[in-house]
A and B are shown apart, each in its own frame.
Chain A
């Protein structure tokens, strides 16, 4: 008997007792439905968690050069007249180029900072205002806070010659928010001043105005380096010190976690909140496993239903089995025929359960946002996500359950003595 014929026979045998096959597969439907709903909910929740975490900055990580005590010189240990830490492993321009190629990296923002006590002024229209160079605090705009948004122009600065102002700075110069657009493209003088009175000017073009109310400016990276060189009276602080910090934006929270581990392995100090992500993912995993177990138990119970149906079917068809054996069917063929029959009951139950679970998820995905809007919760997106792996896995598992359930009854059918089977009434 060819395998094709065995499948055809098994299918027609499933079809000949439709009600009974349907009832037998009902258990599988319930089990599969449970698994699909629970696991797709878990997948949806995982996506939600990742999205929420990304919104509060968990998709970003800050790379710092690895430290190595303080630069020696004079004064008590740990004191450094310049207030800069000596560095074990510095972040070079080559590192930046290399990181840009890493999978999952979507943005790299290098930072070069001036010491906090550096006097910085902005001169514009004849007035001077003291400002701070933004980005001096490594956590700014990194965690729990979305990056500042532009109220005029763009906050993306060119490699050199660009400046962005906070609206606090603009207001200090007496510019009302209506006139912000007029400021874009104008040149301002940024003055660096030492306590001994030395000063150095940089003329930079305004690119944008941010929503921030503090008096901050952002300056193109090349100009920052120039400022730092001037301050430390050096020509190549970048070569000696590298970048002060680099913020990397990853494609998603999971990528951020991987990148963190990789860059730490390379010897950099990396700050990220991957612990939170890991904990949340662990919780979701535990919940997923629990839910899957519940569905799995339902499926195990379903095996009893299928096995019972198969035992009944074999009892009823004992005489047919005898006839088939007399016609030259082997024990293996009889066994495969009944196992396939049980497998199909599992498969059909699995497909129906998957479809029902998928439809239920689609429906709930429509209903939940309505509720969330009503409660004014800022959560968007789907809560039930049926992945391909889930769909395939659950159908394979349901079929497997059917085969397992059919094994012992089929074995019994295969071992029937043809003579006794033929005498069966």
Chain B
């Protein structure tokens, strides 16, 4: 699995802010290998969330191209992008973003429903996932009855529901105290190691970034440098 899963070249994203055009990303180039844990770090406004959204197919580049698993996200049509988000990517957000009217299990079932998995299989898969994140006893609770850490565990289980290639996390511990944040991070790293999941995480916590195999430092929309740790594989 040493193949490049993600490859970005001259990736640019500009926003219209009133009359001014702001470049959130300009000419970013990098490669992510399958099975790697990559951290995107940088001060706020450096473009790390923009980059994550481009990788996740929630946003489209203004220039350049980004290929994920053979799909060119800039030129893919709407349907291809929808399928890409549904089948290839799992999102974990800072603010959890659980559907408030659904209980924990139904939240995990939601992406399976979108993928047209039959109800019984859906339920079994969601139950298994919630067990694997240690939330089996809280399965039928609504989000407002769960603690922050529990919510994020549900969100992680939901992100994994459709067995994605890529797990994208935007400051997943940002809304959690350090203890629960650490536990959530342990869970994510454990999944990454156990399942060989490719994981990209936005963070500004150097301690968290240090657990990644590759750290991309961003500033003002450009990559300052890419740091590889001992666990990183060599990019061919």
Contact = CB atoms under 8 A, between A and B. Distances in A.
A419 interface: yes
Nearest to B50: A419
B116 A419 contact: no
A2 B119 CA distance: 11
A227 B162 CA distance: 98
A181 B98 CA distance: 92
Contact of A327 (B53, B114, B116): B114
Interface size bucket, A side? 20 to 34
A10 B53 CA distance: 29
Nearest to B102: A12
B123 to A, nearest CB: 13
Interface string A6-19: 00010011001000
B111 A327 contact: yes
B83 interface: yes
Given A2-B116, A419-B53, A419-B58, A325 B85 contact: yes
Interface size bucket, B side? 20 to 34
Nearest to B159: A327
Contacts of B85: 325-328
A421 to B, nearest CB: 10
Interface stretch (B86-94, B189-197, B227-235): B86-94
B210 interface: no
Contacts of A5: 113, 116
Interface stretch (A268-276, A285-293, A316-324): A316-324
B110 interface: yes
B91 A1 contact: no
A418 B58 contact: yes
A364 B79 CA distance: 57
B59 interface: yes
A323 B56 CA distance: 13
Interface in B44-70: 53, 56, 58-59
Contact of B86 (A2, A320, A323, A327): A327
A328 B83 contact: yes
A159 B158 CA distance: 89
B97 interface: yes
Contact of B87 (A320, A328, A333): A328
B115 interface: yes
Interface string B112-132: 011110000000000000000
Nearest to A16: B101
A328 B99 contact: no
Nearest to B56: A326
Contacts of B86: 327-329
Nearest to A13: B101
A270 B30 CA distance: 95
A331 B97 CA distance: 19
A330 interface: yes
B88 to A, nearest CB: 9
A170 to B, nearest CB: 84
Interface string B127-148: 0000000000000000000000
B7 to A, nearest CB: 22
A422 interface: yes
B210 to A, nearest CB: 28
A322 B114 CA distance: 14
A331 B77 CA distance: 13
A235 to B, nearest CB: 87
B82 interface: yes
Contacts of A320: 99-100
A330 B116 contact: no
Contacts of A2: 116
A5 B121 CA distance: 14
Given A326-B85, A327-B114, A329-B114, A422 B59 contact: no
Interface in A247-291: none
A333 B173 CA distance: 31
A1 B97 contact: no
B181 to A, nearest CB: 21
Interface string A116-134: 0000000000000000000
B213 to A, nearest CB: 25
Interface in A1-39: 1-2, 5, 9, 12-13, 16
Interface in A300-349: 319-320, 322-331, 333
Interface string A209-251: 0000000000000000000000000000000000000000000
B113 A1 contact: yes
B78 interface: yes
B111 to A, nearest CB: 4
A235 B83 CA distance: 94
Contacts of B111: 327-328
B114 A328 contact: yes
A2 B78 CA distance: 19
A406 B72 CA distance: 35
B116 A1 contact: yes
CB-CB nearest 8 A-B residue pairs: A328-B86, A328-B85, A330-B82, A327-B111, A323-B97, A418-B58, A326-B91, A16-B101
Interface of B: 53, 56, 58-59, 78-79, 82-87, 89, 91, 93, 97-101, 110-111, 113-116, 158, 162
25 contacts: A16-B101, A320-B100, A322-B97, A323-B98, A323-B99, A324-B99, A324-B114, A325-B85, A326-B85, A326-B91, A327-B86, A327-B91, A327-B110, A327-B114, A328-B87, A328-B89, A328-B111, A329-B86, A329-B114, A330-B78, A330-B79, A331-B78, A419-B53, A422-B58, A422-B93
